[in-house]
Amino acid sequence: MFGKRGKRGRHHVSKDSGRMGVPNYEDAEEFADDGASTSGPFDETDAPEDGLSRLDLGSVRVPVPEGAQLQVEVDPSGPVRAVHLVTPIGQITVSAYAAPRSGDLWPEICEELVTQLRGDGARVIKEAGEWGTELAATANNVVLRFIGVDGPRWMLRGVVAGPGEHNVMASDLLRSVVRGTVVVRGVAPQPVRTPLPVELPPAIAQHIQAQQQG
């Protein structure tokens, strides 16, 4: 599933309540579940020496699915906002945030996402996942899945978005990416919910700079 780092490419999917396609919003029962956490994601202090190739983005080291392309989202002022992994079945985005020592930031964020998505007209359900509650949503013919994991003073959020026919595979791929991610929180104090900075590897940063100047 994972291979060498994907090509630098351009510039967000889901397991469903049913078997294929979009989640079964009519029959799904909304609930939250603590879930049993698996081996990852990892804090930097517990990062495994598993030989898995990971893309170093500063605050996160993300395994890149084989064949994926990178899409970089940059603020006009210069800082990198996000790096997306674009695959044939969906686009994955993994981000880390500063969290309180007590953890439990994802449940708060999860409820806010439900309110926001429904306010935008999306259909949303909660499902039990490996790390707790997952959100499945459909909006404008796009199926999304949100996964959150609370770690030591950080929260990791993964999102995948794509067409309904790839719903199940894309969700499984998102879980694999989240499971293999390493979070580098750092020791500096950070306000809760602050996005941890994303930094591009020098070769990719130089490539983007050359494109902008060209």
State the total domains in the chain: 1
Structural domain contains residue 167: yes
Structural domain contains residue 2: no
Structural domain contains residue 159: yes
**Mean pLDDT score, 134-163:** 96
Of the candidates 182, 208, 188, 201, the residue with the CA atom closest to the CA atom of residue 59: 182
**pLDDT tens digit sequence for 21-52:** 556 655 544 444 444 445 899 999 999 998 89
When comparing pLDDT for 208 and 187, which is higher? 187
Tell me how far apart the alpha carbons of residues 180 and 204 are, in angstroms, rounded to a whole number.
22
Q: Tell me the residue range of the domain where 154 lies.
A: 7-213
Structural domain contains residue 35: yes
Query: Does residue 176 carry a pLDDT above 50?
Result: yes
Question: Percent of the chain beyond pLDDT 90?
Answer: 65
Q: Yes or no: say if 50 and 29 are a contact pair by the CB < 8 Å rule.
A: no
Strand-pair partners of 139: 142
Question: Percent of the chain beyond pLDDT 70?
Answer: 81
Structural domain contains residue 32: yes
Structural domain contains residue 175: yes
Structural domain contains residue 57: yes
Q: Before 41, cis peptide (omega within 30)? A: yes
3-state secondary structure of 46: helix
Of the candidates 52, 89, 70, the residue with the CA atom closest to the CA atom of residue 8: 70
**pLDDT tens digit sequence for 103-135:** 889 999 999 999 999 999 999 999 999 999 999
Tell me how far apart the alpha carbons of residues 60 and 148 are, in angstroms, rounded to a whole number.
14
3-state secondary structure of 40: coil
Structural domain contains residue 1: no
Give whole-number Cα distances, 210 to 14, 22, 24, 186, 206, in Å: 35, 40, 46, 30, 6
9-46 burial by CB neighbour count: b if 16+ within 10 A, else e? eeebbbbbbeeebbbebeebeeeeeeeeeeebbbbbee
Q: Yes or no: say if 7 and 67 are a contact pair by the CB < 8 Å rule.
A: no
Lateral strand order in the sheet of 154-162: 7-8, 69-74, 80-87, 90-98, 154-162, 142-151, 132-139, 123-129
Whichever domain contains 21, its CATH number is: 3.40.1000
